[in-house]
Structure 1
């Protein structure tokens, strides 16, 4: 039996942390280079270490910036009802924003993406179809809840993310607004399936 609803966290919730983790990995990868360069007294290895070290610091700074940017709005979980969207049937979503009297979001975008292989180890993401929904804004207990509903047209592709597939399809709900001259965006990947034929 299909679950009644599903809580989805935004892609942006992981971005800053992922960049900082990669920065830490680069930093630890640079330590053996420093050890080798001090033993061999090689200027080239010193330069290589300096480049690796600088790159790791840059990643840490970028990650910190992304985390500060993310904290302006917080986690913003999206609750999807039912837990999987069915093409041709209405689904409902609510987005929780831990800010009172928040009114910056005027529309939610619904986007179908195609990720296709164009060369060895090279992929391209293209928008296949896009539409929007107007949220109903509710202020409850110091939070703002954005409620909206949407029906995906019958002729659209469901989620297809097979590991060996050269053409993958995935769906996203998103919004974007500007605050203090800074663009704030939230994106959630939503599962979409084809309606099963009646037995």
Structure 2
């Protein structure tokens, strides 16, 4: 059975804009409160908070616009869960025709380590790439690739309470019109 995975970037712009709207609503609430207390410091605080919310919303709009340069890019895996030592096939559907800039897909094993209570760090444990085969179908670009994760690349310390958490990603990146276009998918891998 095939599994369709949506890119991590598909939600970034919308999430940033929602945060901007929440900040805007908080700023409006602050303005309402400040009209009752009549304190000039609260008006200044409102102006800063209002400006921040507009900035965050604009950044989210920029991220959305950047995302829609390629549009939705679902990754379909066959089989639905990759097994170490066995070949899996991936197919990325790009809603635009003639996207010929993606020559390779990177496959990366990441280790997320806790550095402090609130912070973590991601380190690359292993990385390789697969060549794409570009097909044009019904006005869309289809990137097909296949890959085998070697058996000696099994992550260690995979227990639930371990300090290290491992995850696998497929990704590509290229530059177009002075902008970096990137797509990343977290892929399920079983050992």
Structure 2 residue 124 is matched with structure 1 residue 127: yes
- In 1, the alpha carbon distance for the partners of 2:123 and 2:48 equals 34
Q: Give the counterpart of 1:169 among 127, 143, 166.
A: 166
Query: Contact 1:161 / 1:169 at 8 angstroms: preserved in 2?
Result: no
Q: 1:111 offset after TM fit, Å? A: 0.7
SS of equivalent residue, structure 2 residue 153: coil
Q: Secondary structure at the match of 1:178?
A: strand
1:97 matched to 2:89? The reply is: no
Query: 1:101 aligns to what SS in structure 2?
Result: coil
Tell me what 1:79 maps to: 76
Partner of 2:138: 141
Kept in 2, the 8 Å contact 1:109–1:130? The answer is yes
Cα gap change, 1:165 to 1:32, in 2 (>3 Å) = farther
- Give 1:155 deviation, angstroms: 2.1
TM superposition outliers: structure 1 runs of 4+ over 6 Å: none
* TM-score, normalised by the number of residues in structure 2: 0.94
Normalising by structure 1, report the TM-score. 0.90
Residue 10 of structure 2 is aligned to residue 16 of structure 1: no
- Tell me if the contact between 1:15 and 1:63 (Cα under 8 Å) persists in the aligned partners: yes
> 5+ unaligned residues in a row in structure 1: which ranges?
195-199
Instruction: Indicate the RMSD between aligned Cα atoms, in angstroms.
Output: 1.6
Tell me the CA shift for residue 11 of structure 1. 0.6
Question: What secondary structure does 1:102 align onto?
Answer: coil
Cα distance 1:147–1:161, how it changes in 2: closer, same or farther (>3 A)?
A: farther
Distance 1:155 1:55 in 2: 48
Deviations 1:97-150 (A, max 9, x none): 122222110111111111111112111111111110001111111111110001
Q: Which runs of 5+ in 2 are unaligned?
A: none
| Secondary structure of residue in 2 paired with 1:93 | strand
Q: SS at the partner of 1:119?
A: coil
**Cα distance between partner residues in 2 of 1:152 and 1:60:** 40
